[in-house]
């Protein structure tokens, strides 16, 4: 199933993350319709050892598939933010051109240290890549 075919499909995808990804311990994600052509997804996905993903996506959908208009994803371990993803353009940073505008903020200087984010998209679900990243951290 492509979860971007309709808002209903994407809602089903969001609300069944725990069944699809066994390492997900819990989810507070909620899909909030905002009129006929827009919705917000927000909340948190919890994992073992204090790992969690907090997120907000703004979705739009006309006659065709759902598109992520904007997003913010934060990766946490207990009370420490370990990374975040966003799509705010940084046209002055040539190192991010390969995945413009998608990028990831990482430690040690999380606000200013940015790297390309090839797994992020406006036209495909980003949650599987984020969950795989947490799964990799749990293996370490």
Q: Which residue has the higher pLDDT, 82 or 65?
A: 82
Q: pLDDT averaged over the chain?
A: 93
pLDDT of residue 18 exceeding 60: yes
Q: Exposure of 28 by Cβ count < 10 A (0-12 exposed, 13-18 middle, 19+ buried)?
A: exposed
In a domain, 1, yes or no: no
Decide: pTM greater than 0.85: yes
Q: Residue 67's pLDDT is what?
A: 93
**Domain with 91 in it:** 7-139
The token duo for 2 is 């492509």
Strand partners, 87: none
Q: Residue 3's pLDDT is what?
A: 72
pLDDT of residue 1 exceeding 70: no
Using left for φ > 0, alpha for ψ between -120 and 50, and beta otherwise, residue 33 falls in beta
pLDDT of residue 137 exceeding 70: yes
Decide: helix, strand or coil at residue 97. Answer: helix
Give the CB-side neighbour count of residue 23, counting CA atoms within 13 A.
18
In a domain, 2, yes or no: no
Angstrom distance (rounded) from CA 132 to CA 137: 9
Q: Residue 62's pLDDT is what?
A: 77
The token duo for 110 is 């999380």
Tell me the pLDDT tens digit for each residue of 82-130. Answer: 999 999 998 888 989 999 999 999 999 999 899 999 999 999 999 999 9
Q: Say how many domains are in the chain.
A: 1
Q: Residue 36's pLDDT is what?
A: 87
pLDDT of residue 2 exceeding 70: no
């Amino acid at each position: 199933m492509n979860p971007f075919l309709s808002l209903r499909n994407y809602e089903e995808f969001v609300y069944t993350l725990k069944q699809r990804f066994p390492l997900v311990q819990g989810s507070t994600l909620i899909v909030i319709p905002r009129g006929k052509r827009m919705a917000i997804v927000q909340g948190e996905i919890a994992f073992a050892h204090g790992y969690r993903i907090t997120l907000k996506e703004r979705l739009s959908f006309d006659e065709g598939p759902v598109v992520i208009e904007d997003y913010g994803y934060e990766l946490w371990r207990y009370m420490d933010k370990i990374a975040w993803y966003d799509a705010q353009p940084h046209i002055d940073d040539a190192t991010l051109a390969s995945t413009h505008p998608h990028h990831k903020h990482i430690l040690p200087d999380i606000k200013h240290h940015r790297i390309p984010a090839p797994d992020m998209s406006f036209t495909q679900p980003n949650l599987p890549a984020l969950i795989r990243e947490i799964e990799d951290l749990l293996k370490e």
